[in-house]
Structure 1
């Protein structure tokens, strides 16, 4: 059995900027970029055409928004500004490490995270109580190009675990995204209904994680 976990909101909590546009703008200025008037509006607009369900890396979006306002972005400044603006303070959720360890006792374990910020998932894991080595595969939307609930996101992590999507048990906190595994025949375990301590216990007891109380 292969078990995959969502990261943000499921295994960890992170502090996000209250005003992402302002946070990114401040970091751009630190790097010598002339942030234009009306930057919050530009940040909020769509500037990169992408297929439905595809991930647009946030640095690409920021660079496009600046170009739309006539500002050149030198020396990879957009990427460095975005990474700095979202530099995380991390809190590992109760039971997270134990749930991952219990899943490893049953089979391969993956991490599947929607995240448009490069390096954020790796930095989060380093600052958490989780070990990167605990996961047989780590897949991010910015890395694979697709966001949950798109089938290609789940297919990517399943392939890297040498599994099939329908065999996956995916543990997450958002039915709208993590629950997409159900459309492929897999099982969604909702940690807003069943906490991670319970997930770990049921995995170790060899019990099914499906059912109305945990899968919807």
Structure 2
């Protein structure tokens, strides 16, 4: 790791563990029903089908997908209704990973720190952070795919957080649990730290020991 590197953490599976919604289609259907929207009998199939053409690497917001899935079956809903239903359908139960707070703090002592998360559900990252032991003010930049429009490993996702940290993507050290997505930073010239191989406590210790005496 270079002294000029900026650290970027993945959220889900890296800093926190979240109980996944076991049946997301059913959860969305229930949230829609609470708003007076009846879903079609084959809603589970409609939910799984692609309905929006998007460039490779682009994030499709889940509310847009839900609205398009309903429209494919002749059910029209407003963007607001689809968005509120999706938000209500995903209520995270959050467990902060051991060493997460300390690793983020140590990274902050070493340089700038960002958070980069693949998430198609609006506000879910913010709600997850608020229910964790993490302080969102510990991050100099928080970038979510549903907001920036691009999912890791697309280089544009890494470039989005790099811009907010005012560094080049090649200067990023991405800490994550999924080589197929978080590891995409290596294609941008940056570094990937896999927490399944280097634990957060180990990373925190390494960062602390690398700091000059003050």
TM-score between both structures, scaled by the size of structure 2? 0.95
For residues 95 and 74 of structure 1, the distance between their equivalents in structure 2, rounded to whole angstroms, comes to 42
Give the one of 158, 163, 171 matched to 2:162: 158
Runs of 4+ with deviation above 4 angstroms: none
* Alignment-derived partner of residue 38 in structure 1: 42
Q: Map 1:101-140 onto structure 2 (within 5 A).
A: 101-140=105-144
Give the one of 82, 92, 95 matched to 1:91: 95
1:2-33 Cα shifts (integer Å, max 9, x gaps)? 10000000000111111111111111101111
- Name the stretch that deviates more: 175-184 or 198-207: 198-207
For residues 77 and 37 of structure 1, the distance between their equivalents in structure 2, rounded to whole angstroms, comes to 20
RMSD: 0.9
Counterpart check, 1:192 vs 2:196: yes
1:22-77 Cα shifts (integer Å, max 9, x gaps)? 11111110111111110000000000110000000000000000011000114711
After superposition, the Cα gap between the structure-2 partners of 1:75 and 1:5, relative to the gap in structure 1 and judged at 3 Å, is closer
What's the secondary structure of 2:210's corresponding residue? coil
For residues 185 and 46 of structure 2, the distance between their equivalents in structure 1, rounded to whole angstroms, comes to 34
TM-score between both structures, scaled by the size of structure 1? 0.94
* Alignment-derived partner of residue 211 in structure 1: none
For structure 2, the residue ranges without an aligned partner over 5 or more in a row are none
* Alignment-derived partner of residue 208 in structure 2: 204
Count of aligned residue pairs for this structure pair: 207
Q: Map 1:17-56 onto structure 2 (within 5 A).
A: 17-56=21-60
After superposition, the Cα gap between the structure-2 partners of 1:75 and 1:113, relative to the gap in structure 1 and judged at 3 Å, is closer
Asked if structure 1 preserves the Cα contact closer than 8 Å seen for 2:67 and 2:78, the reply is no
